[in-house]
Amino acid sequence: MPNRAEQEALRAAIYSTPIIDNHAHPLLKREHLSKHALLTMTSEAHGDALPSTKTSLAHVRAVKQLSRILGCERTWGAVEKQLESKRGADWAAWTRTCLQGIECVLVDDGLDGMDSAESYQHFDAFTPGKSKRIVRIEPLVEELIRLHCSRMDQAKDAFIAVLLDFQGTIRAALRDTEVVGFKSVICYRTGLDIIAGEHSPDVVGIMTTTGPAFKAFARIHASIVAAGVQAFKRLEHPRLNGYYVHLLAACIRNSETEPKKPIQFHTGLGDNDIQLTKASPAHLQNFIKSYPSVPMVLLHAGYPYTRELGYLAAMYGNVYADIGEVFPMVSRAGQEHVVSQILELCPWEKIMWSTDGHWFPETYLLAVMQMREVFAAVVGDMLSQGDIDVEEGVRLVGGLLFSNANRLYNLRLTMNKSLSACS
C-alpha cells in the first residue's frame, strides 16, 4: 500500500503538471457567442437530437460542476444565466480562469464558421506558452479546387494546378515553425478505410491524370464550369479524399526536417455526419503501415473504439493515441473506462491528452477539471494496487499531459509545475 505522502505526490502531479493541449479549436469572438448553443459543450448532437442531451450524464455532471464554480443554483437555467452574464462582465478574466492549467494549445483552425472565431494566437493572452497551428487539409484542398476549377477550362490543367499548389502549401507548412502538424477529417467525409494509393507517392504528378482520383476531380470541374463554385459543396469522394491524404503523407515522409510533423486523424466520436461503422481507427491500419516514418495521432480516444486505438498505438512506432474530447463529452464512468482501456495495452509514452475545446472557454475548464478527477481515480487505483510505484505514476501523468506532446510536436518547452487554483 502506498503511504500518504506517495498518494499526495501523485495527486500533486495530477493537479500541477502543466498541460500541452495537443488538439483543440479556436474560441468564438465575444459578439458571436450566442450563435452556438451552450448545450453543445457536452454533446456533439445537433438539431432535434440536441435537447435530449439535458438527460445525459455528461450534461448533468457539467451542470453541477459549473454551478459550483459560478456559485449559482444547480440547474441548467441558472448556469446558462450566469455564463451569459460572464460575457458582459470581465470576459478576459473568465476566459483566463477557464484556461487555467493549460500551458499551450495546438489549434486546428480549419473549422466551418471561422469568421465568428478568434485566431489561434488569441490563446497566447491566456496561457504561459505560445499556441501553435495544426493545418486541416480538407478546407485547403476545397479552396484550391474552387480557385483553379473556376479559372481553368481543362480539368487536367486544374487538377495539376491543385496538386502543385497543395504540395507547395504543405511543403511551406512543413518549414513554418508556427505549424506543428496537420489534420485530416477524412473520417467525416468518406470514412477511415482510405483506399490504397493509385500511384507511388514519389512520382505523383502528371501521370495521375488517368486514374480514378482524376475522374472524380473531372466531375467536380465539370459542375463548377457549368454552374459556378457554389455547385461544389465539399470534398467527399473516397478516391479523391484518399488521394490528398496520401499526398500529405508522402510530403511528410519525403521532408528532411526531423522530427517529422505528425498527421492528426479524427477517429471515433463525432456528430451524425460520421458513418460510425467507418470511424474505428482500425480501418487506418493499412495506411499506417504504408508510411512507417510518418507520425500519426489518432484523436478522441477513438471512442467507442478505444481498445482498437490502444492496439494500434502499441503495435506501430508511428502511431500515438489522443484521449481527448471524451472529457467532457462522456460520463465519469465512461472517462474512467477510456483511461483504463487505453492503458491496458498501450505504453504511456504513446498517449496524449487534449481538451478538444472549441468555441466556449468552459469546454476547456470542464475538460481539465474532469480529467484531473478521473486521473486521480484511475491512476490512484493503480498506485493503491501496487501496479505502479509513485515515480512511475508521476512519469505517466507527466507524459500524458506534457512530455509526450512536447516531444512529438517538437515544442521544446520546459515543464514548470505550479499548483493550479482550479481543483
Binding residues for Zn ion, rule: CB under 5 A, are 356
Nearer to Zn ion, 21 or 356 (CB): 356
CB of 387 to Zn ion, least distance (A): 32
Distance of alpha carbon 192 from alpha carbon 82, whole angstroms: 41
Three cell numbers at 169? 502549401
Amino acid at 329: M
SS3 content of the chain, % helix, strand, coil (to 5): 60, 10, 30
Nearer to Zn ion, 187 or 369 (CB): 187
CB of 110 to Zn ion, least distance (A): 10
When CB distances to Zn ion are compared, the closest residue is 356
CB of 109 to Zn ion, least distance (A): 11
Do the Cβ atoms of 379 and 335 come closer than 8 Å? no
Nearer to Zn ion, 329 or 383 (CB): 329
> What does the DSSP assignment read for 208-269?
GGGSHHHHHHHHHHHHHHHH-GGG------HHHHHHHHHHHHHHHHH---SSPPPEEE--S-
CB of 299 to Zn ion, least distance (A): 7
Helices 91-98, 76-88: inter-axial angle, 10-degree rounding:
120
CB of 255 to Zn ion, least distance (A): 24
Do the Cβ atoms of 380 and 7 come closer than 8 Å? yes
The angle formed by the CA atoms of residues 124, 329 and 406, to the nearest 5 degrees, is 40
Nearer to Zn ion, 318 or 355 (CB): 355
Residue 115: Cβ-neighbour burial (10 angstroms; 0-12, 13-18, 19+):
exposed
Distance of alpha carbon 380 from alpha carbon 388, whole angstroms: 9
Nearer to Zn ion, 142 or 356 (CB): 356
- Taking Cα atoms as reference points, which of 16, 5, 4, 6 lies closest to residue 372? 16
Nearer to Zn ion, 107 or 162 (CB): 107
CB of 368 to Zn ion, least distance (A): 16
Three cell numbers at 152? 481553368
Nearer to Zn ion, 138 or 356 (CB): 356
Q: Which residues lie closer than 8 Å to 235 by C-beta, 6 or more apart? A: 138, 141, 142, 145, 189, 241, 244
CB of 23 to Zn ion, least distance (A): 6
CB of 270 to Zn ion, least distance (A): 9
Nearer to Zn ion, 45 or 195 (CB): 45
Three cell numbers at 395? 512519469
Nearer to Zn ion, 26 or 101 (CB): 26
Nearer to Zn ion, 26 or 191 (CB): 26
CB of 239 to Zn ion, least distance (A): 25
Distance of alpha carbon 345 from alpha carbon 351, whole angstroms: 11
The pairing of strands 179-184 and 132-136 is parallel
Cα 68 to Cα 54, 65, 95, distances in angstroms: 18, 5, 17
CB of 327 to Zn ion, least distance (A): 13
